Structure 1
Amino acid sequence: MSGNLTLLGEALATAKAEDRAALIAYLPAGFPTVDGGIEAVKAALDGGADIVEVGLPHSDPVLDGPVIQTADDIALRGGVKIADVMRTVREAHAATGKPILVMTYWNPIDRYGVARFTAELAEAGGAGCILPDLPVEEADLWREHAAEHGLATVFVVAPSSKDARIARITEAGSGFVYAASLMGVTGTRESVGAQAQDLVARTRATTDLPVCVGLGVSNAGQATEVAAFADGVIVGSAFVKRILDAPDTPSGIAAVRALAAELAEGVRKGRAGA
């Protein structure tokens, strides 16, 4: 059952072979509706994203900024459930053949049951999970079930992480490493900065896993900047904002596709002349 973890590795390897960073989009399940969210994920992939992270909306998203909190609130008020997250993964993967991960806080998985969650995610064609608030020391149960089903376990490193801590995190992870470019919550930023480049270098010193940078990238110029030194560029709030700002769902989906195309062009410029 390791096919989709392999698919994730192949997507990152293909980007590397093309001398560019991979484009990874984030969109919450159930936003603006379950059906609309599925169409948005497909649009991001059709527009040029290599990989999508599907967010599992949470009532207390401590690491997410106001844009994603707003989207999560809309999804939760719409009654989104874990079954809808699985459906989003299943339908978007079936339509595009591209790797799709779930990004979630630990509490919903813990309540749902680790064995049940990993089995259903693998059955839906998911490639793995990003678990931003699960400490490596408490991840053995998850890692055991994820490995059994061929799912990637993506952990997050931050600028505040000491080198020994980064090594511990990367040793336990699989798929890729999520490098949070700066301290604080998700959201668009004016610049992504040198802090991210330093974190990528420190992380690469501990692992052969691809290192993908998120938190703050919102436009093609920033994508180009980050693509110059990272293996992947992760964009979330900018996609969500396109949907929030749109007058209706079809317009929002079209805006997601257009942004993915702009960002895909941006990541391809990152290594030009480097």
Structure 2
Amino acid sequence: MSTDSGGNRALLESTLAAAKDEGRAALVGYLPAGFPTVDGGISACTALLEGGCDVVEVGLPHSDPVLDGPVIQTADDVALRGGVRIADVLRTVREAHAATGKPVLVMTYWNPVDRYGAERFAAGLAAAGGAGCILPDLPVEESEGWRKAAEEHGLATVFVVAPSSRDERLAKITEAGSGFVYAASVMGVTGTRESVGGRAQDLVARTRSVGELPVCVGLGVSTAEQAAEVAGFADGVIVGSAFVKLLLSAGEDLEGGLAGVRALAGELAEGVRRTG
């Protein structure tokens, strides 16, 4: 895959459109870079995509991940203690994309990007073949500088909405964003749940009513059954903590963890393809 022609926002958009044309939701996986090691994280992201994910989000580990639950916090801590750097995050994007040809996003809190430099980060992400950036804590009102840099480098800017978001807020977010809208299925932090919650369906409907972007649902999906449920009303199903948990439970058995990740991706891919 060429990575010298700018970002891959168009690849992300075409991937989501192709899933829709197939009459299904897209499957989006998440794993933090540098976990359990930088090389192990690259292998894990590649395994997600090879196993059945259409898109992968590479997390940029943060010392204070306020929106993440204990599973992802633990993985972030492992990565940070291992010395992961932004260069390693970009390498993860580059190698996972090059190995599969599929769209790869970075999910990050705003502070690391701001400190690194928005233009510098956008240029580096585009050069790595990245498709865009999910910024859960960047207010739309303060995002113009980032969005300009992202647009110049062919990157999508994905914002997060929650059940508490009012309709006028949803309209502002969907107008400013690109690629897709990340709909948090429940209030609270990331983590697997017994039920994804009925509020997610209402949030998707409200978000669609005020904009044209696809809406992908995350926070809580961990089984094929839950994936099928969410796929019935959303354009994409996002799964993170379930994959991280598999790698954590595998301990030093990286190959076993990768096999588990690949198998779960396959099960979830079957789930998003169920109809009725």
TM-score range, shorter chain: over 0.9
| Alignment partner of 1:38 is 2:56 | no
AA partner of residue 251 (structure 1): G
How many residues are paired up? Answer: 271
Which residue of structure 1 aligns with residue 54 of structure 2? 50
| Alignment partner of 1:206 is 2:210 | yes
AA partner of residue 262 (structure 1): E
Query: Are the aligned partners of 2:192 and 2:221 in contact in 1 as well (CA < 8 Å)?
Result: yes
User: What does residue range 56-75 of structure 1 map to in structure 2 within 5 Å?
Assistant: 56-75=60-79
CA distance in structure 1 between the partners assigned to 2:38 and 2:91 by the alignment: 9
CA distance in structure 1 between the partners assigned to 2:240 and 2:73 by the alignment: 12
User: What does residue range 31-180 of structure 1 map to in structure 2 within 5 Å?
Assistant: 31-180=35-184
CA distance in structure 2 between the partners assigned to 1:2 and 1:194 by the alignment: 39
CA distance in structure 1 between the partners assigned to 2:237 and 2:140 by the alignment: 23
CA distance in structure 2 between the partners assigned to 1:119 and 1:3 by the alignment: 8
AA partner of residue 208 (structure 2): R
CA distance in structure 1 between the partners assigned to 2:7 and 2:76 by the alignment: 30
The runs of 4+ residues in structure 1 deviating greater than 3 Å are none
Which residue of structure 2 aligns with residue 238 of structure 1? 242
| Alignment partner of 1:266 is 2:240 | no
CA distance in structure 1 between the partners assigned to 2:200 and 2:48 by the alignment: 24
**Can you list the C-alpha shifts for 1:49-86, whole angstroms capped at 9, x where unaligned?**
00000000000000000000000000000000000000
Describe the SS at the equivalent of 1:54. Answer: strand
Identity of aligned residues (%): 77
Please tell me the root mean square deviation across aligned C-alpha atoms, in Å.
Answer: 0.7
How much has 1:194 moved relative to structure 2?
1.0
CA distance in structure 1 between the partners assigned to 2:198 and 2:188 by the alignment: 16
AA partner of residue 48 (structure 1): G
Query: Are the aligned partners of 2:6 and 2:129 in contact in 1 as well (CA < 8 Å)?
Result: no
How much has 1:223 moved relative to structure 2?
0.3
Query: Are the aligned partners of 2:189 and 2:219 in contact in 1 as well (CA < 8 Å)?
Result: yes
Which residue of structure 1 aligns with residue 189 of structure 2? 185
AA partner of residue 250 (structure 1): E
| Alignment partner of 1:221 is 2:255 | no
How much has 1:193 moved relative to structure 2?
1.7
Which residue of structure 2 aligns with residue 10 of structure 1? 14
**Can you list the C-alpha shifts for 1:202-231, whole angstroms capped at 9, x where unaligned?**
000011110000000011110000000000
AA partner of residue 244 (structure 2): V
CA distance in structure 2 between the partners assigned to 1:10 and 1:259 by the alignment: 24
How much has 1:3 moved relative to structure 2?
5.5
Describe the SS at the equivalent of 1:52. Answer: strand
Q: Which moved more, 1:244-253 or 1:37-46?
A: 244-253
TM-score, length-scaled by structure 2: 0.97
Unaligned runs of 5+ in 2: none
AA partner of residue 252 (structure 1): G
**Can you list the C-alpha shifts for 1:71-115, whole angstroms capped at 9, x where unaligned?**
000000000000000000000100100000000000000000111
